[in-house]
Amino acid sequence: MAGKISLSVDDRLAAIDLVNRFFFLVDKGRAAETAALFAADGSLTFGPGSPKPGTVAGGDIPAAMTARQAQTHVTTRHVLSNQTVTPLDDGTIAVYSLLTLFRSEDETRDSYPASIADIDDILVRVGADWRIKARTVSPVFNRA
């Protein structure tokens, strides 16, 4: 972690907006659009306890997010809290978020949280914009 590195208010807000935008797009049925939020060599890792643990990276991210968008029977709402933004010595930004996931795979739209997870993002500047270099989703609690 960084010592005395600081971020501008604009960069701090851009980091939070980027993380929130990803989940907004997924929840609105536009998951395929999230691929553009990743750096070309970005990665998305679902850690132990995830329904399908593993890593999707680089050119495989668009196909994975298009497949998620095709799951029209799945309704989700991702609620993020406890977000912290930390500049790192290498010029990247670490963003931590606590995720509460509401998910239903049928018309009942059961309202209990399906999962509580830690989301750890590393953001990198690509041109004038911030992009996700690495995202790790680490479930803490999962509903059986």
Residue 3 has pLDDT above 60, yes or no: no
CA distance 99 to 118: 6
* Residue 77 lies in domain: 9-142
Residue 1 in any domain: the answer is no
pTM: 0.94
Residue 24 in any domain: the answer is yes
> What's the DSSP call for residue 29?
T
Residue 55 in any domain: the answer is yes
Residue 98 in any domain: the answer is yes
How many domains in the chain? 1
Could you tell me the CATH number of the domain that includes residue 81?
3.10.450.50
Residue 134 in any domain: the answer is yes
Of 34, 100, 43, nearest to 69 by C-alpha is: 34
CA distance 144 to 12: 36
More confident call, 144 vs 105: 105
Of 56, 98, 94, 59, nearest to 79 by C-alpha is: 98
First-residue to last-residue Cα distance in the chain: 35
The pLDDT value given to residue 107: 87
The pLDDT value given to residue 111: 77
pLDDT in tens, 70-122: 999 999 999 999 999 999 999 999 999 999 999 999 888 887 899 999 999 99
**Residue whose tokens read 């270099």:** 133
The pLDDT value given to residue 100: 98
pLDDT in tens, 40-71: 999 999 999 999 999 999 999 999 999 999 99
Residue 3 in any domain: the answer is no
Residue 57 in any domain: the answer is yes
**How many residues are given for the chain?**
144
Residue 2 in any domain: the answer is no
- Helix and strand totals (H; E) in the chain: 2, 6
Task: For the beta carbon of residue 72, count every other beta carbon within 10 angstroms.
Answer: 7
